[in-house]
Amino acid sequence: MSDMIELLRKRRSIRKFTPEKVAPETVELLIEALLRAPSSRSINPWEFVVVDDSELLSKLSRSKEHGSEFLKNAPLAIVVCADSTKSDVWVEDCSIASIIVQMAALSMGLGSCWVQIRNRRHDAGRSAEEYIRELLGLPEHIKVESIIGIGHPGEKKRAVPAKDLQYENVKRNRYA
């Protein structure tokens, strides 16, 4: 069986991490994986902010109203952004890069979880993207798609059994 399908079978969202830091050489491999992500017309509008500073991770954990808290205890986060002036499909390109880095992390024995930022609220007064833009000093044309929290898994989750996959969502040749 393909290594890739085995990784997909094991992939789960991990929100609890051990205190162990991600080794610098592993971070460099994750960066390489990001930079190898495919991009429409090879425009590569994505840009990445690699965060390992615990104080900044704590602030990123407050990026949105729900679902980003676990970043406080992640040893590493990658903020996936794009120069929106370069491509009209920057969202898709960033989404591809986000899942590629998650699969690369898993292949190296790390856990990860995606935090959706685009179209999410920080609080009643501003968006999660505005909060992150201010926190990281991003210019206006740089849009934030997601944050990927990465670290050594502090929890074990069982793979989803094949019998529980939603095969009813697959159509062949035609929808009806």
Task: For residue 9, report the phi and psi dihedrals to the nearest 5 degrees.
Answer: -65, -30
Report pTM.
0.95
Domains of the chain: 3-154 (3.40.109.10)
Amino acid 106: pLDDT: 97
Strand partners, 143: 82
Q: What number is the average pLDDT over the span 119-139?
A: 97
For residue 82, what are the CA distances in angstroms to 11, 30, 55, 109, 162?
25, 18, 24, 28, 35
End-to-end CA distance of the chain: 32
Residues 6+ apart with CB under 8 A from 153: 14, 16, 17, 18, 110, 111
Give SS3 for 69. Answer: helix
Query: At residue 108, does pLDDT exceed 70?
Result: yes
| Average pLDDT over the chain, rounded to an integer | 97
